[in-house]
A and B are shown apart, each in its own frame.
Chain A
Amino acid sequence: MQWLSRGLERFETGLLTLFALTLVVLAAAQIIARWIGQSPEWLALPVVGWLLGWTQWIGPWVDPFLRVLVLWVGMFGALAAARDDRHISLDMFSRRWQGAKLRVARVLAFGFAALVSAMLARASLGLVELERESGTFLFGDVPMWWAQLILPLGFAALALRLAVRGFSRPAPVAT
């Protein structure tokens, strides 16, 4: 079990790193490409032309792609936050409780959160089905529902993880 959990964490962190770095690099590249594209004519040196050629692949698809990527990074971040008990909560008693009291509190609080996540996963599945029927596109010929798949998958994974967290020891305080 231990190796499975650790392997999964590595896989998640790897994907998250890839998404986050893509977000940073692509967002900046888009702006730099715009500057190059808008550079005044007296700057029309061969080097600018070369750069312009290099930035051709940055097209109108970048904006919708980045907006969806933000959501994907957020969902993977939410999964990571569930693993480390880092979701925002009021947490008035559990900080002070220990032993059996704390265990019961965790089962109730996280069990509830798992149920709600499962409900959100089902609602998201409804959204994906609606979108598949309407057949809209995110950009080019990429269907919108591909981008939305993160919601049912992410919330289902979140539900499972929160349920597991309910029966686990609290994560150490982070600072």
Chain B
Amino acid sequence: MSVLLLVVLIIALAALGAPLFALIAAIAYLALRAAEVESTVLAVEFFRLAEMPVLIAIPLFTMAGYLLSESRAPQRLVRLTEALLGWLHGGLAVVAVLACAVFTAFTGASGVTIVAIGALLYPALKHARYADRFSLGLITTSGSLGLLFAPSVPLILYGIVAQQLGTNPPVSIDDLFLAGILPGLLMLVALSAYGMWKAPPKQHDLQWNAREAWSALWDARWELPLPVFVLGGVYGGFFAASEAAAVTALYVLVVTVVIRREIKLVELPRLLREASMLVGAILLILGVSLGLTYVLIDAGVPEQLFEWISAHIDNKWTFLLLLNLFLLVLGMLLDIFSAIVIMVPILVPVALSYGIHPVHLGIIFLANMQIGYVTPPVGMNLFIASYRFNTPVMTLARASLPFLLILFACVLLITYWPALSLALID
């Protein structure tokens, strides 16, 4: 009875807008009290944040992403993709998909993509006579595209949380970076193809212009090495993820502040504060969920959950289908960072016992969560796009529906075709 009362209380507080870290910490605290364990455990687990060598990648990539989005890098990225691909039929839709994906990979889908890239592309799409509804849906959905590409912060966070569990086979961030490539490309190609199909018949396709292409490339000369650091460095095995983060952050700082001078020195504290707020919010929920995970594992919850599930589901494929449905609902309710830190410690052991590779699980997890960005009631892209384009949330949700169906088909393919994720890793 009292447990039920507590559950109702927690849900009520969540609905009233209590910060999630406080809810997680409260649950962990109550569970510790029930097990008669000292609450110091929460602090011990929280301080483990200072013992994770890879964690540094999160603040470094987040800072790099904020600096890039405040510079004129978004304009140059759009110009470059437009110059290179604008001549295709439906080229502008392809440009939108590609530019959003690249940008999201670097900014970790914190919603900046819609503001920085979407705001540039929406007028361009309208000008090229794409249907308004199509353009809104495309931009709202593309705002979280690219989550599966290095160095997206959710991908790194999944790796960090899964590493804590000491799985066999192990999960390395570098493997996750590799595993995301083909599934991410699948989503890009699917959305681009739909965009080309829906492009207006007499749209104002751009002429191929070699001079503009060169000039756009030259214009982006300082940004072009960035994908090389991350992709070449990590994929080529020269850097670990945290080293790529350090090099990227310093490079972006020097380029935006010293070389291009698009960010004034006096603006730097405000920007670093912005980035640190996101880092702080993520670390806080990560730190308290380490405590919750300790409690859950101590109480044997993953084993019980597995026993209960395996009593009802005897094969991997049914489990995966239910996992997809569960993650979709989870993505509708929770933001991606909280979903990762809370659910991954519980899901990984269960998925392992069904013979699912933890790296594959990570890709499934993120691919599902990506859809959650665009679904009511808490889809972040919907709110940001609604605010930015001054359009009701429900209109945007309807406009995004065809794109969501395509992404959902991709998610199913990613789920049931493990080789797509695992082919590039050993």
Instruction: Please list the residues of chain A having a beta carbon within 8 angstroms of any beta carbon in chain B.
Output: 13-14, 16-17, 20-21, 23-25, 27-28, 30-31, 63, 66-68, 70-71, 73-81, 84, 86-94, 105-106, 108-110, 112-113, 116-117, 119-120, 122-124, 126-127, 130, 147-148, 151, 162, 173, 175
- Say yes or no for B270: interface residue by CB 8 A criterion: yes
Q: Is A147 a contact of B50 with CB atoms below 8 Å? A: yes
- Say yes or no for B7: interface residue by CB 8 A criterion: no
Please encode chain B, from 257 to 296, with 1 for each CB lying within 8 Å of some chain A CB and 0 for all others.
0000000000011101101111111111101100000000
Pick the contact of A90: B17, B26, B287 (CB < 8 A).
Answer: B17
Shortest beta-carbon distance, B276 to chain A, in Å? 3
Interface residues of B in 27-49 (CB under 8 A from A): 29, 38-44, 46-47, 49
Q: Is A92 a contact of B378 with CB atoms below 8 Å? A: yes
Enumerate chain A residues within 8 angstroms of B49, measured Cβ to Cβ.
70-71, 74
- Additional 9 contacts, C-beta under 8 A, given A70-B283, A123-B41, A126-B40: A74-B49, A88-B281, A89-B20, A90-B17, A117-B22, A126-B39, A162-B22, A175-B111, A175-B387
Shortest beta-carbon distance, A162 to chain B, in Å? 8
Enumerate chain B residues within 8 angstroms of A123, measured Cβ to Cβ.
39-43
- Say yes or no for B405: interface residue by CB 8 A criterion: no
Given contacts A16-B272, A90-B14, A94-B17, contact A27 B25 (CB under 8 A): no
Pick the contact of A27: B56, B279, B387 (CB < 8 A).
Answer: B56
Given contacts A14-B269, A88-B281, A119-B29, contact A30 B246 (CB under 8 A): yes
Q: Is B249 a contact of A28 with CB atoms below 8 Å? A: yes
Pick the contact of A120: B14, B46, B283, B335 (CB < 8 A).
Answer: B46
Pick the contact of B387: A28, A78, A151, A173 (CB < 8 A).
Answer: A173
Q: List 17 A-B contacts (CB under 8 A).
A: A13-B269, A13-B273, A17-B269, A20-B63, A20-B275, A24-B60, A28-B249, A63-B53, A67-B55, A88-B20, A89-B18, A94-B16, A106-B17, A109-B17, A120-B288, A126-B38, A148-B47
- Say yes or no for B253: interface residue by CB 8 A criterion: yes
Enumerate chain B residues within 8 angstroms of A90, measured Cβ to Cβ.
14-15, 17, 20, 333-334, 378
- Chain B facing A: main interface SS: helix
- Enumerate the 6 nearest inter-chain pairs by beta-carbon distance, A residue then B residue, closest first: A77-B280, A77-B276, A74-B283, A78-B280, A27-B246, A28-B250
Pick the contact of B279: A21, A73, A122 (CB < 8 A).
Answer: A73
Given contacts A13-B269, A90-B17, A126-B38, contact A120 B249 (CB under 8 A): no
Which residue of chain B is the closest to A92 with respect to CB atoms?
B15
Number of A-B residue pairs, CB cutoff 8 Å, is 209
Q: In the complex the two chains form, what is the Cα distance from A135 to B22 in whole Å?
A: 31
Q: In the complex the two chains form, what is the Cα distance from A52 to B396 in whole Å?
A: 57
Shortest beta-carbon distance, A98 to chain B, in Å? 13
Given contacts A17-B269, A70-B49, A126-B39, contact A88 B16 (CB under 8 A): no
- Say yes or no for B337: interface residue by CB 8 A criterion: yes
Given contacts A20-B275, A116-B29, contact A66 B56 (CB under 8 A): yes
Q: In the complex the two chains form, what is the Cα distance from A74 to B239 in whole Å?
A: 24
Enumerate chain B residues within 8 angstroms of A151, measured Cβ to Cβ.
43, 46-47
- Say yes or no for B398: interface residue by CB 8 A criterion: no
Which residue of chain A is the closest to B49 with respect to CB atoms?
A71
Enumerate chain A residues within 8 angstroms of B58, measured Cβ to Cβ.
70
Enumerate chain B residues within 8 angstroms of A16, measured Cβ to Cβ.
269, 272-273, 276
Pick the contact of A80: B14, B44, B246, B273 (CB < 8 A).
Answer: B273
Enumerate chain B residues within 8 angstroms of A89, measured Cβ to Cβ.
14, 17-20
Enumerate chain B residues within 8 angstroms of A20, measured Cβ to Cβ.
59, 63, 272, 275-276
Q: Is B56 a contact of A116 with CB atoms below 8 Å? A: no
Q: Is B250 a contact of A77 with CB atoms below 8 Å? A: no
Q: In the complex the two chains form, what is the Cα distance from A82 to B425 in whole Å?
A: 41
Given contacts A81-B277, A148-B47, A151-B43, contact A175 B115 (CB under 8 A): yes
